[in-house]
Amino acid sequence: MRVVITGGAGFLGRRLAKELLRRGRLIGLSGETETIDELVLFDMAAAAPPLDDRRVCNLTGDIADPAQVKALIAPGTASVFHLAAVVSAGAEADFDLGYRINLDGTRGLLEACRALPKPLRLVFASSVATYGGEIPDTVTDATAQTPETSYGAQKTIGELLVNDYSRKGFIDGRSLRLPTITVRPGKPNKAASGWASSIMREPLQGQDVSIPVDPATRMACLSPRRVIAAFIRAHELPAASLGRYRSVLLPGISIAAKDMAAAVTRHAGNRRIGRITWEADALIQRINDGWPKETTSERARRLGFEGDSGIDEIVQGFIEDELDQPAS
């Protein structure tokens, strides 16, 4: 079984790769459990350090280059996890880049999949940025997608493409609409939601941090542990359980920035905690204000997707997985 992860050098791509390698197997399109023989991690830059496993192939390239993507989706590819994207604030700041990577790249990938002699299974990472404007604080399966950012528009179009390519039988696709994933390790990125990781990640490592939103700002959140489980769950669901509509809204609990800060103190242990200050950024605040404060989905529940119990579960998971483990 040949599996491809686009965005494979990123945090979620790398974490998904580690879990797939640990499991060693996936349910394939046939409905049977198959052994993962090759795991291809594709990104614009190589992961550092690379995963030390004979099954891993690291490829660097441009997701928006049709020739490179055609070579990536070689005959024999059974599954694709499509995580590659320009993040929210980056796509908003650079209109052309956002559409090139997030829309043209996704369309090119789907075309490469379509060219295979038989359909493969594809999991697309979408976002709650597909909602915007005058939406309820709690978004449900019935809430219309009304994006008010370029990133949100690009992800909405991506979902529609996955639906249509699946309808035509070119792929067996499924899209997961992700809440904000926190806590992300590493360095801050350009995502407008990045503060929801920085507010916990930096202080727990003894670093001061400035947060660009009001302390009362609420965010729909899902932990890395839960989202990786969701990617694999989405892949292994039979197509019949999804029906004609291939998008699933994942559950994200509502957490205020001030409550994230409080959780840092509760879980400090004997660590020296960095100082949290608040310095509003009008663009970041505006983008965040247009996003859901909570997501809940009866459809996701029926399909077996689970959210976190609360902020303490999220922070404790970050400490156990990132701070209490040796670097790898």
Catalytic residues, by residue number, are 151
* φ/ψ of residue 180, rounded to 5: -65, 130
Where does the chain have alpha helices with state H?
A: 11-23, 66-72, 88-93, 95-98, 105-114, 150-167, 195-204, 224-236, 239-242, 257-266, 282-289, 298-302, 311-318
Residue in 106, 20, 99, 90 with CA at minimum distance from that of residue 56: 20
Cis bond leading into 183, ω under 30°?
yes
Instruction: Match 């690379």 to its residue by tokens.
Output: 50
Tell me which DSSP letter residue 104 carries.
I
What is the distance between the terminal CA atoms of the chain, rounded to a whole angstrom? 25
